[in-house]
Amino acid sequence: MALENITQNKVFGGWHKQYLHDSEVLNCRMQFAIYLPPQAAPSAPVPVLYWLSGLTCTDQNFMQKSGAFRMAAKLGLAIVAMDTSPRGEDVADDDGYDLGQGAGFYLNATEFPWSRHYQMYDYVTQELPNLIQQHFPVSSVRSISGHSMGGHGALTIGLKNPTLYRSISAFSPITHPTQCPWGQKAFAAYLGSDRTTWLQYDTCELIKRVDKHVPVLVDQGESDDFLEEQLKPDSLVAVSAPEKGELNVRLQPGYDHSYFFIASFIDEHLQFHAKHMTE
């Protein structure tokens, strides 16, 4: 599949590049960004961290604001940041910032009018990684991370695919979407009124169902305005079971929901993933 390179900037000895491509699963043109560290070469493929952003974001919020490049260059990690939904004039949308374009929730929609394009689960787990492996000097070793809606995406996708990802991390994730307004609105639209179909995309429900999971690191700011109504870290702590795997939920005093918070702890997340990707 053809990639169209639209930007490239050298940073910490590596390269940040943006690309456009036709997505078969999303049925539209998509944009993504990749950071290739200086170590990446055809003779030396590097592991990849997939980053999933939150509501209203594009491929650029993380790349421009997280300050991840210095540590990624040091550790020799590639990072792929994708868009948060299918895009385009023909793609169904909604006036709310929390539904439609910019709010794909990393699931496969089954309901009209969303199902024609909103297949983000397949895009993240299959189409995009295949494209990345085909075109860049990366190995098949992957981990996954994200913020808010993207933290929900990273956790659900990582829990459901323990052989695809070595580790999972999340900042301020929506941990129990079937029990919060953002999740209930999105799942009702994308998946319909049968709530049993929602459970496959709910981190707290998935943790209860799996026997084992890969190591998980979660950071949550205690001064996050969305903490109690939308994110519910206590629900995640309540279902954690040490015998199933490492699940470290850290509450960080004073931090809010923004990329200032992400920038403060991104180095620790990259080190966590690098450790598990090089084991």
Six-digit token string for 138: 């990366």
Write out the residues near ligand GSH by the rule CB under 6 A: 54-57, 61, 65, 97, 147-149, 257-259
Phi and psi dihedrals of 177, rounded to 5? -60, -25
For residue 59, the minimal CB distance to ligand GSH (Å) is 12
Tokens 């009018």 appear where? 113
Task: Give the nearer residue to ligand GSH in terms of CB position, either 65 or 185.
Answer: 65
For residue 184, the minimal CB distance to ligand GSH (Å) is 16
In sequence order, the 6+-apart residues with CB closer than 8 A to the CB of 242 are none
Instruction: Cis check for the bond before 113: say yes or no (omega within 30 of 0).
Output: yes
For residue 84, the minimal CB distance to ligand GSH (Å) is 9
Which residues are part of the catalytic machinery? 148, 224, 257
| Alpha-carbon dihedral sign for residues 62, 63, 67, 71 | positive
Task: Give the nearer residue to ligand GSH in terms of CB position, either 46 or 57.
Answer: 57
Task: Give the nearer residue to ligand GSH in terms of CB position, either 47 or 54.
Answer: 54
Q: Cβ(278)–Cβ(49) under 8 Å? A: no
d(CA 53, CA 70): 20
In sequence order, the 6+-apart residues with CB closer than 8 A to the CB of 33 are 16, 17, 18, 19, 59, 60, 63, 80, 81
Task: Give the nearer residue to ligand GSH in terms of CB position, either 190 or 259.
Answer: 259
Task: Give the nearer residue to ligand GSH in terms of CB position, either 40 or 55.
Answer: 55
> Which residues of 54-201 form beta strands (DSSP E)?
78-82, 138-147, 168-171
| Number of other residues whose CB lies within 10 A of the CB of residue 97 | 11
For residue 102, the minimal CB distance to ligand GSH (Å) is 9
Phi and psi dihedrals of 71, rounded to 5? -70, -35
Phi and psi dihedrals of 89, rounded to 5? -65, -30
d(CA 194, CA 188): 8
| Number of other residues whose CB lies within 10 A of the CB of residue 89 | 6
Q: What residue number has its CB nearest to ligand GSH?
A: 54
For residue 24, the minimal CB distance to ligand GSH (Å) is 28
For residue 54, the minimal CB distance to ligand GSH (Å) is 3
Task: Give the nearer residue to ligand GSH in terms of CB position, either 18 or 148.
Answer: 148
